[in-house]
Amino acid sequence: ETGVTQSPTHLIKTRGQQVTLRCSSQSGHNTVSWYQQALGQGPQFIFQYYREEENGRGNFPPRFSGLQFPNYSSELNVNALELDDSALYLCASSVREPFANTGELFFGEGSRLTVL
């Protein structure tokens, strides 16, 4: 167990709808990152939040947005869903400090999104 929990585990949406996925980080972790994993592919980096601000982003359009809360829980929001957004969405927490970056990610089980 990593201590990272995600909800919901599965959900179905239709094209054009909006979705919010949630993540609770491992205790003591101040950084969260989100990934999209399509079937048969590796995780694709969406963005990272550190101290409630986005500090890194992959090649995803602005309709993918996020939040990190003071308790280090996090949300991923996707607007105007497209069929290609169907994937497993992974949340990972980590510790980021000026002189103590381990770089190790602790992953949750993921939320599987199906867009019809």
Partner 1 sequence: AQSVSQHNHHVILSEAASLELGCNYSYGGTVNLFWYVQYPGQHLQLLLKYFSGDPLVKGIKGFEAEFIKSKFSFNLRKPSVQWSDTAEYFCAVMGENFNKFYFGSGTKLNVKP
Residues of this chain that interact with partner 1 (CB under 8 A) are 2, 4, 33, 35, 40-45, 48, 50, 55-58, 90, 92, 96, 101, 103-105, 107-110
Closer Cβ to partner 1, 46 or 81, answer by number: 46
Q: How far is the CB of 19 from partner 1 (least distance, A)?
A: 21
Q: How far is the CB of 89 from partner 1 (least distance, A)?
A: 13
Name the amino acid, one letter, at 88: L
Q: How far is the CB of 18 from partner 1 (least distance, A)?
A: 26
Closer Cβ to partner 1, 73 or 107, answer by number: 107
Closer Cβ to partner 1, 71 or 99, answer by number: 99
Cα–Cα distance between 67 and 7 in angstroms, integer?
15
Closer Cβ to partner 1, 19 or 88, answer by number: 88
